């Protein structure tokens, strides 16, 4: 399953956008040193079964050993134990947030999708990132991560903001595969705000509160109590499957 994630990343990072040199990855898999301490998710199109997106959460430790987050390479002075506005050892970084370009040209020809108008189908495409955000919520709950860091395209941040998902900027824009904004958020507080602003989005990305209950005060302890009877999976190499969100 991880290989499918790496193939999507090769398509989006090496072929679609040219961020990485495809010749340096002759096996068609885009991987790096952060994958050893990451958990991964894949986004699957329900109608065709095609894998169309992926995201990973880079974790701050691996089997008890502290590991760096990618954001510390591009905003090193802002992300130290002393300067970071979030608890580093409870912070996972959203990374390799990818949806293949070819899916944007997909023409539905079966099932309920074929009955949608072009405007309705366009709205589904716009909301595809919610499937990846949902996977980040579930993986964070499983890994007991209370905060997210990220280095995101401003356009993606604007889209997420319209959906009620707010990140806090961390410093100025940086050059990293184009202009990117280092940012962070407290997951519980962010989800409480989503619940207040966009309850429809909150229902999707928390699975109606099953993945991360609405706490009213954003405390991570409420989540821990909610999930205290669940079994925690292995951190490295784990993959969750999610469907695109209509």
Per-residue pLDDT of the chain (246 residues), as tens digits, is 689 999 999 999 999 988 889 999 999 999 999 999 999 999 988 777 888 899 999 999 987 788 999 999 988 888 988 899 999 999 999 999 999 988 877 777 767 777 777 777 777 777 889 999 999 999 999 999 999 999 999 999 999 999 999 999 999 999 988 899 999 999 999 999 999 999 999 999 999 999 998 765 445 555 555 555 443 333 434 444 453 333
User: Which tokens sit at 42?
Assistant: 């894949």
Task: Give pLDDT, residue 137.
Answer: 97
Pairing of strands 147-152, 91-99: parallel
Least Cα distance to 131 among 201, 184, 232 occurs for 201
- What phi and psi values does residue 239 have, to the nearest 5 degrees? -135, 130
Question: Cα–Cα distance between 60 and 228 in angstroms, integer?
Answer: 22
Task: Give pLDDT, residue 76.
Answer: 86
Measured in whole angstroms, how far is the alpha carbon of residue 19 from the centre of its chain? Answer: 19
Question: Cα–Cα distance between 123 and 118 in angstroms, integer?
Answer: 9
Task: Give pLDDT, residue 214.
Answer: 77
Question: Cα–Cα distance between 235 and 140 in angstroms, integer?
Answer: 11
**Helix spans in the chain (H):** 2-9, 71-74, 118-126, 129-143, 154-162, 187-197, 199-205, 220-226
> What letters, b where the CB count within 10 A reaches 16 and e where it falls short, cover 67-90?
ebbbbbeebeebbeeeebebebeb
CATH placement of domain 3-225 = 3.40.630.30
Q: By the 8 A CB rule, do 15 and 212 touch?
A: no
């Amino acid at each position: 399953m991880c290989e499918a994630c790496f193939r999507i990343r090769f398509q989006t990072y090496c072929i679609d956008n040219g961020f990485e040199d495809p010749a340096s990855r002759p096996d068609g898999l885009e991987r790096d040193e952060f994958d050893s301490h990451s958990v991964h998710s894949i986004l699957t199109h329900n109608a065709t079964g095609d894998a169309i997106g992926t995201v990973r959460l880079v974790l701050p430790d691996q089997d008890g050993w502290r590991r760096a987050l990618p954001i510390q390479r591009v905003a090193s002075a802002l992300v130290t134990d002393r300067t970071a506005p979030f608890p580093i050892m409870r912070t996972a970084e959203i990374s390799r947030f990818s949806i293949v370009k070819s899916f944007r040209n997909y023409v539905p020809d079966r099932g309920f999708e074929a009955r949608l108008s072009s405007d309705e189908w366009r709205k589904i495409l716009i909301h595809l990132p919610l499937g990846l955000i949902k996977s980040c919520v579930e993986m964070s709950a499983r890994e007991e991560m209370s905060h997210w860091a990220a280095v995101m395209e401003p356009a993606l941040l604007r889209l997420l903001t319209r959906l009620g998902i707010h990140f806090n900027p961390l410093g100025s824009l940086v050059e990293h595969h184009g202009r990117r904004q280092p940012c962070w958020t407290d997951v519980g507080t962010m989800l409480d705000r989503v619940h207040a602003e966009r309850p429809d989005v909150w229902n999707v990305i928390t699975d109606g509160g099953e993945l991360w209950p609405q706490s009213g005060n954003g405390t991570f302890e409420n989540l821990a109590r909610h999930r205290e009877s669940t079994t925690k999976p292995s951190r490295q190499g784990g993959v969750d499957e999610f469907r695109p969100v209509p």
